[in-house]
Amino acid sequence: MTTQSGITVESPGKPWTIVSSIPRPSPGKKQALVRSVVVGLNPVDPMQQQYGILVDEWPAVLGSDFAGLVLEVGEGCTKLKTGDYVFSCAFIGQNRYTPLQENFLVDEDLVFKKDEGTSLQGGSTFGAGLLTASLGLLAGTGITLPAPGTTPPKKEDWIIILGGSGTVGQFAVQLAKLCGYNVLASSSPSKASIPIRQGATTTFDSRAALEQQIAEIKKVTGGAFARVFDASAAGYDLAINALESASEAPVKYFSSVDDWSPFNTPSTIKEYRAELGHLGRYDEDLGATVSKQIAEWIPNLEEHIKHGSIKAIDYELVEGLGWEKAIEGLEKLTDGKATRKLAVVVGTEAVQS
């Protein structure tokens, strides 16, 4: 058995450990073996390390966002070939598919092929954020992404994005604007410029009292909205109260990244939970649905990235190279010291690309 290096966690709550004994997988049908080059770190990574959520086996090889180099393709691959660079979000919690190891598997229909204008570091910022935002808006609120190079008619309606300065929120702002909507995003006052840079029309203070936030939403939009996406996982009460106070619409939509809290959403509002953690879990109904939807969206999203209508978010590159630096970044994320998306170079191919 061929083995390789990477980072493992022995069991929930155990430390990150660099090892050289991870089995190297081989690609199956419509799969590729990818060399991990840059990993983008997400809050889900330390949550898995600490609590074991969505982990299929122990010791666990974790990781989510990545950019990497295709080393080998399996039977039936038509999109990818050896030497291509790709980026996306991994199959979270599935050891053979996660990027905190030298080489891992991807399904070719669920990755973005890197274009010349996208760096590997920038590519590592897209995965979980863009795909979760796509689930939240395209599946959750029923909007449709336009074809690349086209401009949809400007809509009078607004979309409300709660948590517009976070990774998911920033991509949600980009998608909502791309679909022709006016975008009102919540953020703390100190971060209000972030969703504005991504295309939000304006923002409101996420730290104000609930009544003040609802009043500000009504003032800005005039009640002309029927869609709220909570990218913060903390805005349920605000979203439902705001939607109930909005102008009459045939359908109202509430979408959230909170997939764990019990909700009691009124029957007049369509509720949706964005559950990217089920990507690649084909033996589940939810996993099969999520994977199918994302596979259908990726070609369009990929072209928008190529055309620059969807852009990488700001990130901080951890200085240095290798697994030790990845652990350094993960610990920074765990300690709450990361103010932006963190990216870590773990392969020398990043220097050459």
The CA angle 284-287-288, to the nearest 5 degrees, is: 85
Q: How far apart are CA 203 and CA 45, in angstroms?
A: 29
Which distant-in-sequence residues (6+ apart) come within 8 Å of 148 by Cβ?
300, 303, 304, 306, 307, 309
179 has pLDDT over 50: yes
Quick check: bond before 25 cis, omega within 30? no
Determine whether domain 131-277 maps to CATH 3.40.30.10: no
- Of residues 245, 236, 231, the one with CA closest to residue 264: 236
136 close to 231: Cβ distance less than 8 angstroms: yes
Calculate helix-pair angle for 127-134, 285-307, nearest 10 degrees: 110
What share of the chain in percent tops pLDDT 90? 93
Give the model confidence (pLDDT) of 13-58 as tens digits: 999 999 999 999 999 999 999 999 999 999 999 999 999 999 999 9
CATH number assigned to the domain covering 3-126+312-352:
3.90.180.10
Q: Give the E-state strand segments of 196-313 in sequence order.
A: 202-205, 225-230, 252-256, 269-273
> 83 by DSSP, 3-state: which?
coil
| 57 CB neighbour count, 10 Å cutoff | 10
351 has pLDDT over 60: no
pTM: 0.96
Quick check: bond before 59 cis, omega within 30? yes
How distant is the alpha carbon of residue 2 from its chain centre?
32
Q: How confident is the model at residue 349 (pLDDT cuts 50, 70, 90)?
A: low
Give the model confidence (pLDDT) of 293-344 as tens digits: 999 999 999 999 999 999 999 999 999 999 999 999 999 999 988 889 999 9
Position 234 scores a pLDDT of 96
Please state whether 78 falls in left (phi above 0), alpha (psi between -120 and 50) or beta. alpha
Residue 291: C-alpha distances to residues 86, 179, 244 (Å) = 17, 22, 32
Residue ranges of the domains in the chain?
A: 3-126+312-352, 131-277
- Of residues 156, 225, 165, the one with CA closest to residue 189: 165
